[in-house]
Amino acid sequence: MTLAEKILAAHTDKKKVSPGEFINVRVDLILANDITAPIAIREFQRIGVDKVFDPKKVVMVPDHFVPNKDIASAEQAKLMREFAREQEILYFEVGQMGIEHVLLPEQGLVLPGDVVIGADSHTCTYGALGAFATGMGSTDIAAAMATGDIWMKVPPTIKLIYHGNLGKWVSGKDLILYTISNIGVDGALYSAMEFVGEAIDTLSIDSRFTMANMAIEAGAKAGLFRVDNKTQLYVKSRAKRPYLVYEPDNDAEYSQVIEYDVSLLEPQVALPHSPANTKPVSQVENIDINQAVIGSCTNGRLEDLRIAAQILKGRKVHPEVRCIIIPGSQQVYLDALVEGLIEAFIKAGAAVSTPTCGPCLGGHMGVLAAGERCISTTNRNFVGRMGSPKSEVYLANPAVAAASAIMGRITSPGEILG
Amino acid sequence: MLKGKVHKYGANVDTDAIIPARYLNVSEPAELAKHCMEDIDRDFVKKVKPGDIMMATTNFGCGSSREHAPLAIKAAGISCIIAKSFARIFFRNAINIGLPLLECDAAVDKTEAGDTLEVELYSGRIKNLTRGMEFTAKPYPKFMAELISAGGLIEYTRKRLASREII
Ligand code: SF4
Contact yes or no for A305/A394 (Cβ under 8 A): no
DSSP state of A34: T
Q: Do A143 and B143 touch (CB under 8 A)?
A: no
Contact yes or no for A368/A362 (Cβ under 8 A): yes
Paired with A132 in beta bridges are A115
Closest CB to B65: pick one of A36, A362, A384.
A36
| Distance (Å) from the alpha carbon of B157 to chain A's nearest alpha carbon | 6
pTM, 2 dp: 0.96
Residue B83, chain A, CB below 8 Å: the answer is no
Chain B positions touching A389 (Cβ under 8 A) are 20, 38-39
Cis upstream peptide for A327 (omega within 30°)? no
Write out pLDDT tens, residues A336-356: 999 999 999 999 999 999 999
Atom of ligand 1 nearest to the CA of A63: 6
Q: Do B65 and A121 touch (CB under 8 A)?
A: yes
pLDDT at residue A418 greater than cutoff 90:
no
Atom of ligand 1 nearest to the CA of A379: 3
Mean pLDDT calculated for residue range A15-38: 97
Helix, strand, coil shares of chain B, percent, nearest 5, are 35, 20, 45
- For residue B167, what pLDDT is reported? 46
Taking CA atoms only, the protein residue closest to ligand 1 atom 2 is A360
Residue B7, chain A, CB below 8 Å: the answer is no
End-to-end CA distance of chain A: 45
Q: For every one of its 167 residues, what pLDDT tens digit does chain B have, with 9 covering 90 and above?
A: 899 999 999 999 999 999 999 999 999 999 999 999 999 999 999 999 999 999 999 999 999 999 999 999 999 999 999 999 999 999 999 999 999 999 999 999 999 999 999 999 989 999 999 999 999 999 988 898 889 888 899 999 999 999 875 54
Distance of CA A216 to the CA centre of its chain: 9
Contact yes or no for A188/A175 (Cβ under 8 A): no
pLDDT at residue A231 greater than cutoff 90:
yes
Sorted by sequence, the CB contacts under 8 Å of residue A395 that are 6+ apart come out as: A177, A269, A270, A275, A375, A376, A377, A378, A379, A380, A381
Residue B167, chain A, CB below 8 Å: the answer is yes
Paired with A253 in beta bridges are none
Point out the least confidently predicted range of A120-124, A211-215, B17-21, B142-146. B142-146
Write out pLDDT tens, residues A79-89: 999 999 999 99
Q: Do A143 and B157 touch (CB under 8 A)?
A: yes
Write out pLDDT tens, residues A152-170: 999 999 999 999 999 999 9
- For residue B166, what pLDDT is reported? 52
Residue B20, chain A, CB below 8 Å: the answer is yes
Taking CA atoms only, the protein residue closest to ligand 1 atom 5 is A297
- For residue B119, what pLDDT is reported? 96
What lines the ligand 1 site, CB under 6 Å? A 64, 99-101, 120, 122, 296-297, 357, 360-361, 378-379
Chain A positions touching B13 (Cβ under 8 A) are none
Closest CB to B161: pick one of A119, A146, A185.
A146
The burial of A339, by beta-carbon neighbours within 10 Å (0-12 exposed, 13-18 middle, 19 or more buried), is given as: middle
Q: Do A185 and B62 touch (CB under 8 A)?
A: yes
Sorted by sequence, the CB contacts under 8 Å of residue A374 that are 6+ apart come out as: A289, A290, A291, A292, A293, A359, A366, A368, A386, A391, A392, A393, A394
- For residue B165, what pLDDT is reported? 55
Chain A positions touching B71 (Cβ under 8 A) are 39
Q: Which of residues 103-162 of B touch A (CB under 8 A)?
A: 141-143, 147, 152-154, 156-158, 160-161
Q: Do A143 and B88 touch (CB under 8 A)?
A: no
Q: Do B141 and A153 touch (CB under 8 A)?
A: yes
DSSP state of A217: G
Distance of CA A372 to the CA centre of its chain: 25
Contact yes or no for A322/A366 (Cβ under 8 A): yes
